[in-house]
Each structure stands twice: as C-alpha cells, then as structure tokens.
Chain A
Amino acid sequence: MSAPARKASAARSPSALGIAMFAPAVLYIVLLIGAPFALAILYAFSDARIGATSIHFAGLENFRSILQSPSFRMAVKNSIVFTVCAQVIIIVCSGMLSIALEKPFRGRGFVRFLILLPWVAPVSLGTIGWKWILDSIYSVITWVLVSLHFYKPYSAPMWLGQPHLAMASVILVHCWRLIPFSTVIMLAGMSAISREIPEAAAIDGAGFWRTTFQINLPMMTPIVSVAVLFGTVFTFTDMTVVYILTAGGPFDSTQTIPTLAFATGIAGSDLAAGAAISLFLVPVLVVVAYLMLRIAHRAEVV
C-alpha cells in the first residue's frame, strides 16, 4: 500500500480489515453476554421453570413475591454487609502489607508467592480448605484456643454454625482471597510514583505518616479505587464462597443475592424468580461501571 493510500484508509476509520478482525469478539460478547443479559430480564418478567416447555408473561409477579420474602431481604442485607466489611478490612490490610513489601529484601519473591496463594488457588478449593479449618469439631483454631485455655474442650463455638460467626467466617474468607489481589495492585500503584516525590517530601520536612497520607496515598487514588471497585464486584457477586462454606445457612444468615438466586433458580427450578433475584446485582454493577469510567476519563486527562 503506498503512503497516500494508507493515509486515506486510516482516515476512513474503521477499515474493513479492522472490522473483520474485531467482529468475532463482538459477536461472542453480544451472543454470550448481551443476549443472556437480555434473557435474564425477560425471564424475570415471566414464569419460566426448568423443564417447562413454554413461558408466559408474568408481569411484576416475581418481583412482588421476592420483595416480600424474608430470605430475600436477608440476602440483600448480607450482600451489602459482607461487601462493605470485607472491603474496609481489605483496604486497611493490603495498605499495610503493600507498604511493608515495597522495599526490596532478600526472599521478597518467595514471600510474594506465599502471599499470593489465596488469590491464585481456585476459589472453591481455598474455601473448602477453610471449611476444614473452621470445622465444628476438628477446627485447628478451636484446638489452639482450647490449648490456650480460652475455651474448655468441646465448648468452643461452632464457627460455621452460629449466625454471626458464620457471617464473620464468610467475610474472613473473602478478605483472605482478596487481600493478595489488592496488595499487588497497590504495589503497582506505588511503583508508579517516581522516587523523587517522596524524597522531595522528605526534604520539605514531611515525616513518614505525612508523606504516606498526604502525598503517596492521594497519588495512588485511581489505582486504589480500581482495586476497591474490582474487590467490590468480586465480593458482591460471589456465590462460591458462601455456597461451599455455609450454603447460605445457618437459617439464611449467610444467604446472599447470588446464592439465593442459585438456590431458587437452579435448585428450586424456578428460573423466573431466580433471574429476578439476580437482577438485583445490576444496580451495584452499574454504579461500579460508572465510577470506573470516571477514573479512566480522569486518568486520560493527566
């Protein structure tokens, strides 16, 4: 292609080749994300069931019954509580951890490997490991506490059996999984700050805390926000941890929107109600998407 012809085709954007290369991806996304999303909305307004051959329009019936169900209200409350608590703990912990990891030291690579394991191991497997750690009889935590005489033998609490402890356990596992992820992202954010800026702050007279909170952290805001937003989505939309750890029990105390959707839609065969429940994930996702766009836009201006 000669230079003028190339310029002309670049001006005519997008080119035919570009569209051809890009089309399969768009097709895939539309067919397997867009279409199911539309279907989810459709089902929510219908009476679809597993095994039923036809569906009928059902109006707002599903939503009405869901909103009246105590399980649902508990699920919404739990989803929010788990996500917020987990995120707060995660930010504080990964903040501390990333500051500690920032300066190189011998063995840092190995430490980083160990720290990352919760994130890279498959969710279900890490969770089942915790299920064993939190087992009502054989829990190693119980054993330690009993040996330290905090509890008499056999009288330690059932970590996954009592509502508040179960909730705490779910939050704990989420934090355990996501602290490595957040730490790694924060470390990336820290390394993006040129070395001269904290040095200038030191010369200007700022001590450790002032430099961290007034200089470093504000500069890292976009990246910390990305970590928080992703963490929020991962926790809020997660089904696996709860399903394996407590299956929503005891007495719905750890039920979340996704697990309720699964229980209702697949286990309970009521696709329509399940779809309706899962749609309640959307508002949070929309807010997250909006905030991500804001960050991306602002970063471009810089």
Chain B
Amino acid sequence: MSAAGARRIEAKAVRVLVLVSFTVLLAFPFFWMLIAAFKQNLDLYTVENNPFKFNLPPTLDHVRFLFGQTRFVRWLGNTAFVGVIVVAITLLVAVPAAYALARLTGRWGERLGIAIFLTYLIPPTLLFIPLSRVIGILGLQDSLFSLVVVYPSMTIPFSIWLLMGFFKSIPRELEDAAMVDGLTRFGAFLRMVVPISLSGILTVVIFTFTLVTQEFVYALTFISPEARQMVGVGVPIFLVRGDVYYWGALMAACLVASLPIGIVYNLFLDRFIAGFTVGSVK
C-alpha cells in the first residue's frame, strides 16, 4: 500500500474513534434513561446487578405509575398550554418587528437588530427576583399566565433576529411588484412576504416552543402548587416523595419529555444555525 493510502486509513481510524467516543459519551445518558425507565425496581436498586442489561424482565410499571399516579400528564398539558399561547404572542410581535427592522428602518435597522440580539444575553437569573415581585403585585403568582406574560420577553429577541435574516434574503422586488399591482406596503407584507417566509416562521415556532419546555428558573420561581407546574420543573422537583426519588418514573418522564422535542429540533437545526450566524459572520 502506498504511503498516501496508509495515511488515509490512519486518518479515517482516528476520525471513527473520535466520533464513536463522543457519540457514546453524549448520547449515553439517554440510552441510560431508556433502560432505567423499564427496569423493575428490584433490578434497579440492587447494587450488584449489571446495569446495562435487564436482569429481571422489563416492566411498564414506571410508565404506568408516571401516567396514572402522578401529575405528569397535567404538567405536559400545562406546558403545551403555555407553549401555544407564547408561540402566538411571539409571532404576533416578532414577525412585524423583524420585517420593520429588515425593510423600513434603513440604517438604524442594523444597529437596532444587534441591540435586540444583545438583550438575549440578559439571563433569567438576573431578572427573576424583581420579576417575582412584579408577578406577585400583578396577582399572577402561581398562575400559568405569569409564564405566558414573561416568556415572550425571552423568545421575541431571538425570533426577531432569526426572522430579520430571513426577510432580508427576500428580494425587495417582490414587494415592489406587489405594490405596483395595487397592494399597500402592509398588504404586501401580509400577502406576499409572510407566506414566502413560512419556513422561517416555522423555525420560530419550534424555537419558541422548545424554549418554553426548557425554561426552568421562571417556572420554578413563579409557580408553587404541584398541579400547575411545567414539566421541566415538575419532573425533577415533584417526582420526589420526601427524600425518595422515584428514579424509574423519573427516567421515563425525562425520556417522554425530551425525545419528541429532540427529533423536531433536529429537523430544524440548519435554520437555527443560520439564524445564529447570519449576523455575526456575513
């Protein structure tokens, strides 16, 4: 074999090694959740048992417990409820704003765009204390509507940023043609630009929804009663009785709540990256 051929094989071996080890390290916890969710408690809590296989036959007990005897389903419902409304608010506010920034405000557009992007850097852990008091004053303490009101402040900035890039890539000529044909500028926006940007808007929807499911700090701070929890707080905090963690159910819950989001997010990955990078690297 030529020297070049040997070099190629060596490079390939290293690549495979890196890929395999990282994939295992990164995906392992989910594989683990999968096993633990279906292991019988006896199997799970016996230290000597090999954790990687089912020493006792797998069981649906944890799943049954999760869905039947905890508030898990309720939490999922709460999360979906908040998610849908927050998505609606975000779209209503961010889509026109992004369009305005991309088209109408000229030179300022660039600067405002960056300013908006920077607000994404202000974390919940800075604002949660004053916000908790504001929520209390507004009487929204312990209500899901507290989250409905606050979450858009997190989703709107990044959504504007994402959509700005999108709108900028639509040639102005399309709207000009529509206006020549008789539409007003707003009409052109509504009837021409929005339909074309559906994939960008869809990306915003996915991003907003995943952010709602991921958020922890506000959900923990504003809501105390178990029945009103979001799934991200309910599972780690309330699937515990006293000091006892119901690990089987916990793992099942994690799996159910993570995988669907994971699959959907993965489908839209390329758009997110475009959104992130379109501003900083031309």
Which residues of A does B touch, CB under 8 Å? 1, 6, 10, 13-15, 17-19, 21-22, 24-26, 28-29, 32-33, 35-37, 39-40, 42-43, 48, 50, 93, 96-97, 99-101, 103, 111-118, 120-130, 132-133, 135, 137-138, 140, 143, 153-154, 176, 179-180, 184-185, 187-189, 192, 208, 222-223, 226, 233, 237-240, 243-244, 257-258, 261-262, 265-266, 271, 274-275, 278-279, 281-282, 285, 288-289, 292-293, 295-296, 299-300, 302
Contact = CB atoms under 8 A, between A and B. Distances in A.
Nearest to A51: B136
Given A261-B125, A266-B221, A29 B116 contact: yes
B59 to A, nearest CB: 17
Nearest to B122: A33
B26 A115 contact: yes
A42 B130 CA distance: 9
Contacts of A100: 15, 18-19, 22
B131 A123 contact: no
A244 B108 contact: no
A18 B100 contact: yes
Contacts of B106: 10, 13-14
A127 B186 CA distance: 46
Interface string B84-119: 000000001110110111011111101010101111
A197 B124 CA distance: 42
Interface of A is mostly: helix
B277 A128 contact: no
Interface string B244-257: 01010011011001
Interface in B131-153: 131-134, 136, 149-150, 152-153
A222 B280 contact: yes
B191 interface: no
B47 to A, nearest CB: 6
B214 A122 contact: yes
A72 B136 CA distance: 27
B281 A274 contact: no
B83 to A, nearest CB: 12
A129 B96 contact: no
A51 to B, nearest CB: 9
Given A179-B22, A226-B276, A289-B121, 7 more contacts: A35-B134, A36-B130, A116-B262, A132-B36, A278-B125, A289-B118, A295-B280
A237 B126 contact: yes
Interface stretch (B60-68, B196-204, B231-239): B231-239
Interface of B is mostly: helix
Contact of B93 (A17, A24, A124, A143): A24
Contact of B156 (A28, A128, A192): A28
A97 B156 CA distance: 32
Residue of A32, A43, A123, A130 contacting most chain B CB atoms (<10 Å) = A32
A48 B133 contact: yes
B129 A185 contact: no
Nearest to B98: A25
A233 B118 contact: no
Interface in B43-94: 44-45, 47-48, 50-52, 92-94
Contacts of B177: none
B30 A121 contact: yes
Nearest to B94: A25
A15 B49 CA distance: 70
Residue of B32, B122, B279 contacting most chain A CB atoms (<10 Å) = B122
19 contacts: A18-B105, A22-B97, A25-B116, A25-B160, A26-B97, A37-B130, A97-B18, A114-B26, A114-B27, A116-B266, A118-B29, A121-B30, A125-B257, A143-B47, A176-B25, A184-B273, A188-B274, A266-B221, A299-B281
Contacts of A99: 15, 18
Contacts of B185: 1, 17
A208 B97 CA distance: 46
Contacts of B101: 22
A21 B97 contact: yes
B266 A112 contact: yes
A96 B18 contact: yes
B94 A40 contact: no
Interface in B188-215: 210, 213-214
B263 A240 contact: no
B232 to A, nearest CB: 5
Contacts of A10: 106
B126 A281 contact: yes
Nearest to B99: A21
A261 B221 CA distance: 12
A13 B112 CA distance: 13
A153 B97 contact: no
A114 B235 CA distance: 23
B170 interface: no
Nearest to A271: B129
Contacts of B282: 299-300, 302
Contact of A140 (B32, B125, B210): B32
Interface in B176-192: 179, 184-186
